[in-house]
């Protein structure tokens, strides 16, 4: 099975993210970078499928040269091939991104055969546009299901599962297909030391592609006001009991 996973380099979560003064970018001075969490899961799923069903995994990203770090990381956890669509560092809007990736997929498939499965993360961790996967699937004329938390195969048909209120929806989709994977589908592995060292030997193919911009443009980024939560200490030890009871009564719990 040939599987393609598309990933995006995003600031590592956990830190307060600052915005540059002109509001055009994230201030990366103190930031580490990672792969969007949904995409990490998509990659893990792809690697597990390839381990289970046989085949190989290609990882693709669109971004500046530094995004090679995320491709290497993918290789260190089991991706076999890596493709970078280099940009000049300017943010590409979803349509432009999707056009370039669709073109890349077309070219890759022309050279080496069709991908049976193309996995995206449900949405990126930074801009959260929910668009690129859908646009690519549409451009390629393939079925897509988003929010996927389980994938199985039987006779050239993929069953993809997603959560709904109170249960699951299961979609049977003929291959080749595109899925938007959601965090929780698996627990992504960490790279091993040997995996990291092996990843350095993976060749990163560079595909220079141009594509027209869509209608979406960044005006400026701004940080929302921080939600300050106030903590009231009701007391310590047994002395606090009265105040706790009062509060519970006030909340209608008691």
Partner 1 sequence: MSEFPTRANVVVIGAGIVGNCLVGHLAELGWTDMVLLDKGPLPNPGGSTGHASNFIFPVDHNKEMALLGVQSANQYRDMNLSVDSGGIEVARTQERMDELQRRMTSAKAWGVEAQLLTPTEVKELVPFINEEVILGGFYCPSVSVVDSLETGTVMRKLAIEKTGLQVFANTEVLDLETTDAPNGATKISAVVTDKGTIEAEYVVIACGVWANKVAMMAGATIPLVPAVHQMADVGPMDVLAETNNEIGYPIVRDMDTFCYERQSAGSMEVGSYAHRPILHHPDEIPSNEEAALSPTEMPFTPDDFDDQMEQAIELMDMLGDAEIKYAINGLLSLTPDAMPCLGETTEVRNLWSAAAVWVKEGPGMAQVVAEWMTYGYPRVIDAHGADIARFYAAERGDDHIWARAEEHFNKTYGIVHPAEQWEGRRDLVKSPLYEREVALGAYFFQARVWERPQWYESNADLVERYGLSEREVEWDNRWWSPIIDAEHLNMRENVGMVDLSAFQIFELSGPGAIQFAEYLAVNKVDKPVGSSTYTPWLTPDGGFHSDLTMLRTGEDTVRIVTGAFDGGRDEFWIKKYLPEDESVTFANLTMSTCTIGLWGPKAPAVLGALTDIDLSQEGSKYGSLVNAEIAGIPCTLFRISYVGDTGWEIYTGWDNGVALWDALAEAGADHGIRPVGIGVYGGTGRMEKGYRLMGAELESEYNPVEAGLARPKVKAADFIGKEAYLAAREAGPAATACTFTVDDLTDSQGRQRYMQGGNEPILTLDGERIEDSHGRVSRVTSAAMGPSVGSYLLLGYLPTELAEVGAKFQVMYMNELFPITVAATSGSAFDPDDTRLKS
Q: Give the footprint of partner 1 on this chain (CB under 8 A).
A: 12-16, 18, 29-33, 69, 72, 189-194, 196-197, 200
Name the one residue in this structure whose structure tokens are 């560079």. Answer: 206
CB nearer to partner 1: pick between 29 and 111: 29
Asked if 124 and 98 count as a contact pair (C-beta separation under 8 A), the reply is no
Nearest distance from residue 183's CB to partner 1, in Å?
Answer: 18
Helix (H, G, I), strand (E, B) or coil at 74: helix
What whole-number distance in Å separates Cα of residue 3 and Cα of residue 183?
18
Nearest distance from residue 92's CB to partner 1, in Å?
Answer: 24
Nearest distance from residue 71's CB to partner 1, in Å?
Answer: 13
- Please name which of 102, 248, 122, 116 lies closest in space to residue 183, comparing C-alpha atoms: 122
Nearest distance from residue 196's CB to partner 1, in Å?
Answer: 6
CB nearer to partner 1: pick between 15 and 170: 15
Nearest distance from residue 59's CB to partner 1, in Å?
Answer: 17
**Number of neighbouring beta carbons within 10 Å of residue 47:** 23
CB nearer to partner 1: pick between 197 and 244: 197
10's CB contacts (< 8 A; 6+ apart) are: 33, 34, 35, 36, 124, 125, 126
Name the one residue in this structure whose structure tokens are 């190989």. Answer: 56
Name the one residue in this structure whose structure tokens are 């389980």. Answer: 150
CB nearer to partner 1: pick between 30 and 172: 30
What whole-number distance in Å separates Cα of residue 153 and Cα of residue 79?
20
CB nearer to partner 1: pick between 80 and 196: 196
């Amino acid at each position: 099975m040939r599987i393609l996973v598309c990933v995006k380099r995003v600031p590592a979560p956990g830190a307060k993210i600052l915005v540059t003064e002109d509001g055009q970018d994230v201030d990366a001075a103190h930031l580490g970078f990672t792969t969007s969490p949904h995409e990490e899961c998509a990659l893990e799923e792809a690697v597990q499928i390839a381990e289970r069903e046989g085949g190989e995994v290609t990882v693709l990203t669109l971004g500046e040269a530094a995004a090679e770090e995320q491709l290497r990381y993918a290789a260190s956890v089991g991706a076999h091939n890596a493709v970078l669509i280099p940009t000049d560092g300017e943010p590409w809007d979803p349509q432009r991104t999707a056009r370039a990736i669709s073109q890349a997929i077309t070219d890759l498939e022309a050279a080496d055969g069709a991908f049976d499965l193309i996995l995206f993360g449900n949405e990126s961790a930074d801009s959260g546009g929910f668009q690129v996967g859908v646009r690519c699937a549409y451009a390629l004329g393939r079925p897509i299901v988003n929010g996927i938390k389980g994938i199985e195969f039987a006779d050239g048909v993929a069953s993809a599962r997603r959560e709904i209120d109170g249960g699951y929806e299961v979609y049977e989709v003929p291959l080749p297909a595109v899925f938007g994977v959601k965090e929780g589908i698996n627990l992504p592995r960490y790279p091993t030391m040997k995996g990291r060292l092996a990843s350095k030997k993976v060749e990163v193919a560079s595909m220079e592609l141009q594509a027209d911009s869509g209608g979406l443009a960044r005006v400026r980024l701004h940080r929302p006001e921080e939600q300050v939560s106030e903590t009231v200490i009701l007391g310590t030890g047994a002395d606090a009991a009265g105040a706790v009871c009062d509060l519970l009564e006030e909340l209608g719990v008691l």
